[in-house]
Amino acid sequence: MVSFPVHRIRFCARGQLDSAERECFALSFTQKNATATDAALHQCHVFRCQLPEAAGKALLSFANAFRNNSGSSSSSSTVLPRPIPTRRTSNATAEDETASSLEGAFSSGGEEDFQFDAFLEMREEDAKRGFMICPQEKNCFKLRRDREKRVVVVLQQTAGPKILTVKKCFGLLLGAGRNLRHSDMHLLEMVSEYVFFEYCNDYSQSTGRGNDARTYIVEAVWHPHLQNLEVLNTETPRETRVFMTVAVDVILTGIDEPVRFNMECKARIFHEHERFWYVSRRPVVEKYFLTTRLIITGMMSCYQMPMTTRWGKQTSQTGLCLSRACLRNRVV
């Protein structure tokens, strides 16, 4: 038996409905990360179900986990799995295009430095069934219990020799506390994701469509009565604060492993009908530093980007050198 985190799944598919493979589904995942001397190791598993419907249900579960509803997509937020192709017709072309684009942007063995800003904002349901911004001061949100909330995270690349576009978001996670393990985090229901949106740096204007590929916005629903997040729905004493952690797993262009942006903050929980007389649109902001290195392997010009990172808040004095495994688990 093999077990691995869901975010390591690279691809999942189902057999053609009009073929003998209609009872089958397959998935591939990264078993071993790339190093300076070895290429990344990927595995593919194919499963056969007793009933064709079971294969569809299994893939639907993966689709719900990896739903990717962009601004230009239809009203449905679920991306259905693609059937397993019977022949490989366009893979070579796609690989050539990817290799060509990366070859022009990087030199083998060279390191590139990138910087990202992450903005965290909370919104609560109001009396008009809309969502209003939650007050925040000194990285501490003022929240009301028993109200449905929206968690909004904006990722914005601020520096780097090229744009590392977010290809996919695997989900937005929330947990009560800090220094949490992956199992302590709860996957929230995704509402929407936006690419190529223009998000103002001063955070004083509403979001609008633009042509800025450096910005990526993720929004998810936080239901107040989730059992794993009960601590964040309980009123806190006057001078007491609770910690919470928000994480976003994304795939960046040219990097074969998911990158996790961890954000820690505090919250004070008030009564459901508490009134806040002054509300400012002030998000929690953290700065991240990423160093990548390109490795060319094989005769097919396969490009991979193992990365080490200096990962820290804007207020930190020095960066931290972390491996790719540490990046997924490190809470700043």
pLDDT at 174: 95
**pLDDT band per the 50, 70, 90 thresholds, residue 11:** confident
Cα–Cα dist 140/197, whole Å: 27
pLDDT for the residue 104: 42
Instruction: Supply the pLDDT for residue 221.
Output: 92
Residue 247: strand, helix, or coil: strand
Tell me the whole-structure pTM to 2 decimals: 0.58
CA–CA distance, 55 with 37 (Å, rounded to integer): 38
CB 40 within 8 A of CB 304: yes
Helix (H) or strand (E) holding 42: strand 41-48
CB 235 within 8 A of CB 256: no
pLDDT single digits (tens) 56-66: 888 777 767 76
Which contacts (CB < 8 Å, 24+ apart) does range 103-106 have? 103/301, 103/303, 105/161, 105/162, 106/254, 106/294, 106/303
pLDDT of the residue at 188: 92
Q: CA 7 to CA 66: how far, in whole Å?
A: 9
Pairwise pLDDT comparison (327 vs 184), residue with the higher score: 184
Rounded mean pLDDT of 15-21? 81
- Chain position carrying tokens 């990548």: 292
Q: What is the pLDDT of residues 198-255, one digit of tens each?
A: 333 433 233 322 346 788 899 999 998 888 899 999 999 988 899 999 999 988 887 8
- The string of pLDDT tens digits covering residues 57-98 is 887 777 677 654 433 333 333 333 333 333 333 333 444 443
Poorest-pLDDT segment among 18-27, 167-176, 295-304: 295-304
What is the predicted pLDDT for the residue at 215?
Answer: 87
Class of residue 278 by CB neighbours under 10 A (exposed 0-12, middle 13-18, buried 19+): exposed
Domains of the chain: 6-87 (no CATH), 119-253+263-283 (2.60.40)
